[in-house]
A = this chain, B = another copy of it.
Amino acid sequence: MNRPQTVEKMIDIVKKLPGVGPKMAERLCYHILKMSDSEAKSFMDAIQNARQKVKVCSVCYNLSESDPCPICSDNTRNKELLCVVESPQDLIAVSKVKNEDYNGLYFVLGGALSPLDAIGPKDIRINQLITRLKQDDIKEVILATDMDSKGETTAVYLAQLIKPLGIKVSRLGYGMPVGGDIEYADEVTISKAIAGRKEM
């Protein structure tokens, strides 16, 4: 006994989504098949609407319904500060900090350097970043790529390219996360937190 062919095909396609295994795909598909027509319509419409309306901002490469995006066209922002992130999701995370903590602009690289995955400097937006830095009046670039080996490699690579332009380059500080449990912190993080200790 096999599943109906259309269901098999649906599962095969849903299985390709990130983080979705065969069992999860099956569960999602049966759920979608059981939806009422109006539920299914809202579901499909939400996806199609977002795909139609959302564009990439030509300045920072964030996803947005307008171009330039609301951040790039916000004149109250500090245009001398640029925060470089890997993805639009990372941008959202950084943009949740208070205005007094960061109120500059952003740039989305679209990934991180990863020789093992054959992702080199040409596969992410490094040229576009350098072009922007040469055109705009940016005084400091904050590298907010992930704190893992790919993000670190990318940050080191970018710093080497940006410093010669006479722009200050900084990296997010290492340390214990807020609310973090010392018992479960890894020793490298603890070392970095000791090195970055603050007098009370």
Chain A interface (Cβ within 8 Å of chain B)? Answer: 1, 3-7, 9-10, 12-14, 17-20, 24, 26-33, 35, 40, 42-44, 46-51, 53-54, 63-65, 70-71, 87-89, 91-92, 95-96
Q: A7-B50, A9-B50, A49-B10 are in contact. Are A30 and B88 (CB under 8 A)?
A: yes
The answer to whether B44 and A40 have CB atoms under 8 Å apart is no
Q: How far is the CB of A19 from chain B (nearest CB, A)?
A: 6
The answer to whether B70 and A1 have CB atoms under 8 Å apart is yes
| A71-B2 Cα distance, complex, nearest whole Å | 10
The answer to whether B49 and A4 have CB atoms under 8 Å apart is no
In the complex, chain B residues whose CB is within 8 Å of the CB of A42? 13
Q: Give the nearest-CB partner of A35 in chain B.
A: B51
Of the candidates B4, B49, B54, the one whose C-beta lies within 8 Å of that of A53 is B4
Q: How far is the CB of A191 from chain B (nearest CB, A)?
A: 28
Q: How far is the CB of A195 from chain B (nearest CB, A)?
A: 30
Of the candidates B19, B44, B54, the one whose C-beta lies within 8 Å of that of A48 is B44
By secondary structure, the A interface counts as helix
The answer to whether A63 and B17 have CB atoms under 8 Å apart is no
Q: A18-B31, A30-B87 are in contact. Are A46 and B13 (CB under 8 A)?
A: yes
Q: A6-B65, A65-B6 are in contact. Are A51 and B32 (CB under 8 A)?
A: yes
The answer to whether B13 and A43 have CB atoms under 8 Å apart is yes
Q: How far is the CB of A97 from chain B (nearest CB, A)?
A: 10
| A64-B71 Cα distance, complex, nearest whole Å | 50
Of the candidates B6, B17, B51, B70, the one whose C-beta lies within 8 Å of that of A54 is B6
Of the candidates B4, B9, B65, the one whose C-beta lies within 8 Å of that of A4 is B65
Given contacts A18-B31, A19-B28, 12 further A-B contacts (CB under 8 A): A1-B71, A6-B50, A10-B50, A12-B46, A13-B42, A13-B43, A17-B31, A20-B28, A26-B89, A44-B44, A44-B47, A44-B48
